[in-house]
Amino acid sequence: QKEVEQDPGPLSVPEGAIVSLNCTYSNSAFQYFMWYRQYSRKGPELLMYTYSSGNKEDGRFTAQVDKSSKYISLFIRDSQPSDSATYLCAMKTSYDKVIFGPGTSLSVIP
C-alpha cells in the first residue's frame, strides 16, 4: 500500500462548479499537509499548507484535514478554466522528507 493515495482522475467540471480533490494516507505520523498545483510542462507550485486538523481558507481554495480519518481535501469554489491543472497533495512528518501523491488532473470547461 502506498503511503499517499490520490485518485488520478481525470476530473472534468463546468466553469463555476465546486471542485473537491481528495487524498488518503496511511502514516499517522504525518503532521504537515500541502497542496501543489502543476500546470502542463511546469514545476509544481505550492497552493496551501497546513499542519492542523480543520479547515484553512485562501480565496477560492479551502484545505481540509481530518487526521482521525487520515484524509485531506482541497475545495475549489467558482472554478475557472485557469484552474485546469494537476493537483498534487503532499505531506511529511516532523523530521522526514515530503511525500507526494500522484496528482489529480482537473479540467474546467468554459
Residues forming the site for other proteins (CB under 8 A): 2, 4, 8, 32, 34, 41-46, 49, 88, 92, 97-103, 105
Least separation in angstroms between CB 47 and other proteins = 11
Least separation in angstroms between CB 43 and other proteins = 3
- Cα separations (Å) of 85 from 3, 38, 42, 70? 23, 6, 10, 24
Least separation in angstroms between CB 24 and other proteins = 14
Least separation in angstroms between CB 36 and other proteins = 8
Closest CB to other proteins among residues 18, 98: 98
Name the CA radius of gyration of the chain, rounded. Answer: 13
Closest CB to other proteins among residues 13, 99: 99
Beta strands in the chain (DSSP E): 4-6, 11-14, 19-25, 32-38, 45-50, 54-58, 61-66, 71-76, 85-92, 99-100, 104-109
Whether the CB-CB separation of 60 and 77 falls below 8 Å is answered with yes
